[in-house]
Each structure stands twice: as C-alpha cells, then as structure tokens.
Chain A
Amino acid sequence: MKTTLYIFLAAVIALTGCSEYEKEISWELDDYPDMLVVEGVITNEFKQQTVLLTKSSPYFDTQAPKTISGAGVLVREGSNTYFFTESSTNKGLYLSDIAFSGEPSKTYELEVTLQEPLNGLRDYDAVSKMPEGIDLDTIICEIYEMPDLGFEEDEEDKDTTILSIMFYGKEPDDPNNYYTARIFQNKTCWNANVKEVFLFNDDNNNGNNYDYFIGIENVQAEDTIMLEIRSVEKNYYDYVNGIKLIDESGDAYSMIGPAANAVGNISGGKALGYFCTAYVSRATSFAVDMRGKK
C-alpha cells in the first residue's frame, strides 16, 4: 500500500518537475535530561536470563550508548526471586545468577535500583506475563522467481528470487496471541534489526495448525533457513510495532500521523526500553528451489 503511494508520489514529482529532494541540515534540538534504557527478556529457554541497562543520549550525540554499571537488578516470580549480576566482560549486561526458564502464564516482575539517580529516579520496575506460544513443528521453504515489477533498480541490488516459508505448529486455542518472527539464513539473521522484525497475530487464524506466509528475497537453494517465533504480550507487540513505525511517521505525507514514541513498560514510561517475556520456538529447514518445477 505504502509502496504504491510512494511510487505514485515519486511519479507525480518526476512528472511535474517538482524538485523533491532531501538534504542534510543542521538543526537545534531541545535539551532534555538523560533517561534509563532497559532491555530485559525472560524466555522459556533454560539459560541465564539477561537485562541490559544503558542510558539515553542527546539525539545528535556521536557516541555508542553508555552502559550503566553497579545497579541492583532482580526479577520476582511468585515466591521466587532471581538476582542478576553485571557481566564482567559486558558492561551494563546483567545475567541471572542461576539459569532458569520462564513459564507461560506466570508473571515476572523486574526491579532495578541505580547507584546514582537518573532524571531524579533511582528505582524502576516493570511487569510482564509470559503468554502461551506456538510450538513449531516443521517449516517448508521454497524459492520462487521474483516477478519483475518494472521498477528501476540497480542490477546488483535487484532481487531475483522470493522465499516462501510455510510453518506448521500448534497455535494456542485462546485468541489474542501476538508474535514476532526473525529468519536466520545460514546462521545470519535476515532481519536482525528490530525495525525489520516480522509481526503477526492470530486475529484471522486463531487455533489453527499452520497457515502463515512470509516472503524474503535472495535465497539460494540448500541455504539453511531457521525461523524463530516469539510469542509476546500485546503491549510488547505494540511497542515493537511503534519502533517500526517511528521512521514512517512525522513525514508530511505520512498516513500514520505525527512522530510519536514507542511506549515501553518501565515504571509507566519513566524509563525507555522494555522488560518482556517471550515464549520462543525455532525450526530449521533447507531452502528448495521451485523455479521451473511443475
């Protein structure tokens, strides 16, 4: 939809000789106090779970994010308390002292206490309840010819193939399940950037065994394809969706309105980032070239 709108606008611009172009400008922004950034995930995998603490920076800063050391981090679930300790090799990354696996339907509460307050706040908390998830059984990966859409592209960048992934697995009977998906091609993630993560839900397909279709390009026969699906809370799904949409918002012709924040769940938005739970499932297969096959 959006692509077509852009093609349309680009076409109008080309035709009318309007000088649509973009240039870098220098722009002054408001000062704003730094905020804590939390990236915590509890999954159903048996491992040392992680919480990463960093700090925001002024928008035009040129440095990598600053990590936050010396914080007290713990996660409570019922009567269990899991303490986290900062990694000696990765500053700002806090690992649970013992390995454990999160369980669906259980509620996890994060508590973070900073050594020095940030933006006047020292204590932060967040809650996430792990949802039920899909248990992947198999995936089928087929390569097809990419139709020539007639758009002008550099020959080098031109996609010639499209990959169809069908996956089979039991989707929970209860409705309102939300998923993120990443695809790994020969151990490299095809959509590592969180802005490229696939999002889908079971609105149209609750409780069914299979029936999803994902297309990615430039895959070779015999490539190893791994699909990772994470079942997440709706709020987290909305958060990731927000991250994906930020770049598209704010533009004069944007249909999704003014630029806005992706709102996380740390102390009611007083810190940035998210503490989430995820039910993770993975399945692997080889890509099969279907071109020319009847």
Chain B
Amino acid sequence: MKKVSLVFLMGLLGVLFGELNAQRFSLSGHVSDKRNGESLIGVGIFIKNTTTGVVSNSYGFYSLSLNQGKQNIVVSYIGYELIDTVLNFEQNITLNFELSESIKELKEVVVKAERAQENVTSTQMSVVSLSSKTMKQIPVAFGEVDVLKTLVLMPGVKSSDDGGSTLSVRGGGRDQNLIMLDEATVYNASHLGNLLSVFNNDALQNLEFFKGNMPAQYGGRLSSVIDMRMRDGNRKHYGVSGGIGTLSSRLTVEGPIVKDKGSFILSGRRAYIDLLTKAMHAIDDTSPVVPYYFFDLNLKANYNLNDRNKIFVSGYLGKDVFEMNSADDNYETRMAWGNYTGTLRWNSVLSDRTFANLTLLISNYNYSFGNTLKYGEPEKESKFDWKADLLDYSLKYDVDFYLNEKHTIRAGLVNTLHKFNPGRVIGHNDTMKYNFRIPMNRAMEHAFYLSDEFKVSPKLTVEMGLRYSLFQNMGKTDAYVLNREYITVDTMSYDKWEIFHHFQSLEPRLAFTYRTGENSSVKAGYSRTSQYVHVASNSNVGSIIDIWVGSNKNIKPQLADMYSAGFFMNALDNKLETSVEVYYKDMYNQIEFREFATPQFNEHMDEDFRFGKGRSYGIELFVKKATGDFTGWVSYTWSKTEKKTKDIQEKGWYLSPFDRTHDLSLVAMYNISPRLSVSGNFQLKSGRPFTSPALRYQYGEITYPDGNKEGGAVIPYFPGRNNDRMPVYHRLDLGLTWKGKPGRRFYSEVNVSVFDVYNRSNPMSINFRPDEDNKNITKAYEQTFLGFMPAITWNFSF
C-alpha cells in the first residue's frame, strides 16, 4: 500500500511541474443568484461547444484558464437562465455572474443541449447533488421535508427502518457516513427516535452526497459523505418565510447586513407534540399527554470584506426533550439529547487562480438522562443522573488551485481535537451511592490531502488524490488492557495531553473518466478510506443513546477499499440522465458487539467490541429526468453485503443487517399547472435480514418441597446471525402542492401528503415467544409502526 501511495504522489507532482510553465489568461469570479444574491454551487462555466470548463465550488467561486483572443463563454445551471457571452482575453478577467431563475423552462432544450453535462464529464461518480427545492417536492412521513429520507431513494442507499433517517451506504454501517453541516460534523442526525432528521430544509441550500470514490478532501468515514451547505441569506432584501405543519412549525428571517455585501439568515423549527397533546388532554382527559418536543435553530451570517475576502459565521443548535412527572410529583424523569455546531470561515481569493478557505469548527453531541423517585415515610429518595457527550474542535485550511485548463489542484489540512466523554452516572438510594465514569479520553485527528484533476485529453480526465491521516490518543485517561477473552486485565493511566498511542493511514483516491461519445462516458475509480471514530451502540436503527468512541489499542480503525466502475449516458437532448454503476468494497476491522452488549452502559466499554471483515458488492441503475413539467427518477440496486466475525459466528459469512438484495425506488413530480403539482414515490425492496429461531427448549425449573415444579422458561435457539429475512417492503407516498399566485408580496402554498397510501404497514420486527396461557405453544408476532398517514403543511413567505 505504501509503495502504491508513493508512486501516486510522485506521479502527481511530476505532472504538476511539467505543466507549471504553461501561460494562459484566466477568467475567475463568483456565481450568485440574481434574486437574493446567494452563492450558487455547481454552476457550469465553460467554453461553448467544447469540453473545457469548470464548476463553481462550494462558495460559488470559479476559475477557468483560456487562450488569448475572443472566447464564447456559457454559464449554465439547471432551473436558471443561461448566460452566453463573448469575452476578449488580452488579460486576466474577473467576472461575477448573476443568474436569474427561469420562470418556466421553455428554453429547456437549448439550455440542456449546451450545458456541460456534468454527470457525464466530471470525474466524480457515485455522487448525488440535491437542491432544497427538489427535496421539498418529495412526499415524506408527517409531511416533514427531510433530506436524509430523500437520499434513501437513491441507488446504493438503504435505510434500516420505516421512515427512519439512518443510512447505510453501499453496505456500510450507520456510523460510516460523514454528515456535515457547513463542514461541521453532525454526530446524531435524528429527531424523534430516528423518525426525522435534524436538518431544517428551509435553512439548507445544497447537498452533495458521495457514496463512494470520495474526493481526497473528505475523510474520516468509510462509506459516504453528506456535505450540506446552509443558505447564506438574502443579500438584496429582507424576507420572512415559514410553515405550519402537522408535527412542527418553522420560521425563517433573512436579509442583507449591508446590501450586496453581507447577509444573515435565522431559521427555527419546533415540534409541538407536547403542546398539542396538552390541548387535547384539556378537552378529553383520557387523551394522553406526551411531554416531548424538539427544536432546531440555524443561524448564518456572511460579509464581503472586499472583492477577494469573505467571512462566514454559521451555527446549528438542536435538542430533543422528553420530561415527565408523576401525578403526585414523586417520580420525575427527563431525557434530553441534541447537537450543536459552529463554523467560522474565511474565504480568500489569493489570486485569479487560487481560492483558499480557512475554517474553524466546533461540534458537539450530548445526551442526558435522569430520574428521581421519592418513596416511604420518612421520605427516601432514589435518584440517578447520567450524562455523556462528545466535543470536537477543528481547524481546516483548503486551497483550490486552478493551475491551467488541464489541472485543478486541491490541497488542504485538517486538525481535530476530539474530546470523548462516554458517560458518567451519579446516583444514590437510601442505602448506597454510586458514581461511575467510563474513562474520558481525548484524541487528535490530523489529515493532509493533495489532489489533481488532470484533463489528459479532451476525452480522458484523471483525478488523482492522496490523503494522509493520523490519529493520536491522548490523556488524561485510563486505558484498559484486555486479554484475548476481551476481559480487562490491567489499567494504564496517562497524564493530560500525553500521547500514548497512534494510528496512521495513507489513502489513495483515483478516478478516471473517458468520454465514449458526445453524451456518454465510462468512469472507474478506487478509493481507500479509514475511520477512527465509531458509534458504540448495538442498535442498527440508531438510538438516542449513541456514544461515539475513538480508536485505541483495543479498537482498531476501520478501513475500506472500494473499486467502482460505471457507464454514464445522457439521452433525449440531455433531458434524460442515465447511469449504471458497479462496485465492490472490502471492509476491515468492522465493528460488531458482543452478544447482548450495551456498551453505552459498560464502564469497561472496550470489552464489548468485536471485530470482523465485511464485503459488499452490487450494481446500481439510475434514470433521471431533471427538467420539464414531468421530473423524477428511477433507481434500482442489486447488492449483497456480508460480514464475518469469528466471535459472532464461528464459521463463514453472514448477512449484514442492511443487506437488501433488490431495492427499487420510483420518484415522480408533475406540474399539472403553474400553481398545482403532484408528486409521488414508490419503494419496493427485499426485506432486511433478521435472526429467527429454529429450536426451543426449557430451562430453569424450580421444585418446591411438595414436589410441584415451576418456572421452566421456554428459550429459543437461533441457528445463526441474520438467517432469515423480513417480508418484502413496499410503500407508496403521494403529495400535492397548491401554490399561491406568483408575483405577489405575500406568497403561500399548501402541501398535502399521504404516507403509505394503501396502508401496507410494513412490519418493523418479527418476534417469537410462547403463548401467555400455555408456554408449550409458541407463536410469531409482527410489529408494525407506521401506516397510512395524511399530513398537511402550509408554507408562506413575504
């Protein structure tokens, strides 16, 4: 591996030095939305009728190298009017483009015929880009627009459960997705016991999702990157928008700080389950009160210091709270969990060809749980409080260097200080006190990357990247030494900041694109990824009580090698995008947990970890129509994901809980009229694997002195992990949006959605147990969670 990486690096540097002398002029600047001044990401800027072009980066910046003389430049972005202009290059030109949203895509054919066919030409494969506008149209449970649930409709992405926002990407675990909001990691992306994601769509601008072949600037997770960017806020004028939904309501305020120089956006969302049920209880006292709510707050501000420098501040705060008191106040319980993140960024255009970004990040996930029970005379008290959290501080520096029309170089480094506090429990009752803490620990995670997107010829583009990562365990902490049976035999204590162990990894990333025709290309790629932080939970669904832990002597980093290839073709004048991708992924040091383990509750948490291998392979088909009155996509995946862990199953491979052989999603949106649109999605997939018993036996009888016997329990025997499969999953959701008259100051729209239209009520789990009256009769039961559910949302803006 090291040799391969070295050859990589030398090749990359050689190519670079060979090209450094070439001199051309540059066209650079920012691309923004004319209406609100917000930066536009992923806009194509290219020379007409050629393949020479670039795409605006995450901050709307672009830089393109051109030859001397007149050049016809085209700027195109889906849903926006095309800019077609001729510029005379006698010197470097800085030009900011403002794009207008197209009212109706009448020029669709023209626009599409001339756009850069990004999906065909870019070296990136296995990538999905979604705007908040698209996400808004897709019907989902509770009528709540949800970015993570939209991703489940993409090929290669599985969800562990109904309506859930836990993702498994190409066979990866649920902790193997790097979920970022303005570059800050969001560790627990779920509200409401995993039914909704924490991302308020009103505050989101864009999402990029890499399900493989991660570019070298991303790392730290094995399977995927979900890179979400918050909106900058309207730079032209003040605005208020919001919505009232079945489960929650939202309000967003935005506007310029200084017109055309800076803007802010503040967006909030609160679920009112508590208030609603209290109101219902007041009318009918048999109706239960559910003392639960969640909220999210997103804030972002940006300001142009000058033409070349821009600063951004953004933050997220979200929390779920469940608190309950007994009628006589003798019992109270409280659970709260949530994330907060903060991002401070400084963009600077160092030259016409160089864009740099300095980022400071903070990210936290925390949860607490406590209860108090008062009883007896004189009054006694039993109480406990439990807290855990994870805190990251990061410093990042990224540089994009548009060397010439053949090379775009990206380099950067990131340093993160992780502070893990896996859990502390303090409690007492009238006879004893307890106070235990799973040792806190710190770690530093560093990474450096360098990549070159090299246009070798008009047909062939190669992206070579290399990422080096280093993870260091630090004190002050107690580290456990385990024996071969995973039992703690010694404890080592380390001083504050003392580095006592480290891991490092070289991660080559390679991607090729070869254009096989005007509208088609073949792509292939290889990537190695490593992951040093892991979720310590035995649940596949995701739970509130998710502790993240860093690698250490007992928990090795997870590694993956992925090979992928695909054929991409646009048809019908680029109106239809199609692709076929195949992948094979080997995963190492894959985490499983000892049977019946609850690592969150284990003072010696490391003892619960077990390690094995994983492999996943599959074929993914995708057809998308992105323009016109009728839009949508079809995605189908055939895949297999298996694991092998000696301590879980003595011999052989067993299915991963996320394995679904067939997975089909249909998404369709149709504008019946300019003011009325309908949408629908249908999913059909193999049931997920689960473990079912084959045998049963009785054990644990007691015999009374009179000879009577009692208590033998019926116990199931399971022949192997995930030996069975749930019934086939299928579901249809429909939505309808009725928009207010356009052009008025106050705009509103009503969205009606129906989840699980024909009430399939897909089972969540199947349990086996003896009959309550006769233990010799054993039965199977299925539990269903969600079924037919209508929801209505009213959105407004002014």
Contact = CB atoms under 8 A, between A and B. Distances in A.
A79 B595 CA distance: 37
Given A19-B786, A30-B723, A252-B765, 11 more contacts: A8-B335, A25-B780, A29-B692, A59-B717, A144-B377, A145-B376, A148-B328, A253-B193, A253-B541, A258-B722, A291-B377
A54 B768 contact: no
B539 A189 contact: no
Interface stretch (A9-17, A69-77, A121-129): A9-17
Give the size category of A's interface with B.
Answer: 35 or more
Interface in A208-255: 211-213, 240-243, 245-247, 249-255
A52 interface: yes
4 smallest beta-carbon distances between A and B, as pairs: A194-B700, A192-B711, A257-B538, A32-B694
Interface string B316-343: 0000001011111011010100000000
A194 B711 contact: yes
A261 B780 CA distance: 18
Contact of A22 (B292, B692, B718, B783): B783
Interface string A98-133: 000000000000000000000000000000000000
B697 interface: yes
Interface string A16-60: 111111111111011110110101000000000000101111111
Nearest to B726: A252
A14 B788 CA distance: 14
B785 interface: yes
A150 B326 contact: yes
Contacts, number: 284
B324 to A, nearest CB: 7
B352 to A, nearest CB: 54
B596 A11 contact: no
B313 interface: no
Nearest to A255: B539
A189 B711 contact: yes
Given A8-B335, A27-B692, A253 B432 contact: no
B49 interface: no
B337 to A, nearest CB: 11
Nearest to A26: B780
Interface of A: 1, 4-5, 7-9, 11-27, 29-32, 34-35, 37, 39, 52, 54-65, 144-150, 152, 162, 164, 166, 182, 187, 189, 192-195, 197, 204-205, 211-213, 240-243, 245-247, 249-263, 272-274, 290-294
B695 A16 contact: no
A10 to B, nearest CB: 9
| Best-surrounded residue of B541, B698, B788 (most CB of chain A within 10 A) | B698
A29 B693 contact: yes
Contact of B776 (A11, A20, A63, A251): A63
Contacts of A30: 692, 694, 719, 723-724
Nearest to A260: B595
B597 A39 contact: no
A255 B784 contact: no
Contact of A149 (B326, B541, B712): B326
Interface in B779-798: 779-789
Given A15-B273, A251-B783, A256-B596, A56 B695 contact: yes
Interface in B513-563: 537-541, 543-545
Interface of B: 142, 161, 192-193, 195, 247, 273, 276-277, 288, 290-292, 322, 324-328, 330-331, 333, 335, 369, 371, 373-378, 380, 429-432, 434, 537-541, 543-545, 593, 595-598, 600, 657, 690-702, 704, 710-713, 715-719, 721-724, 759, 761, 764-769, 776-789
Given A11-B288, A246-B715, A257 B692 contact: no
A172 B276 CA distance: 56
Contact of A261 (B161, B378, B717): B717
| Best-surrounded residue of A144, A246, A258 (most CB of chain B within 10 A) | A258
A18 B789 contact: yes
6 contacts: A18-B789, A205-B432, A242-B596, A246-B715, A252-B783, A255-B537
Contacts of B276: 15
Contacts of A189: 702, 704, 710-711
B747 to A, nearest CB: 29
A144 B543 contact: no
A76 B161 CA distance: 52
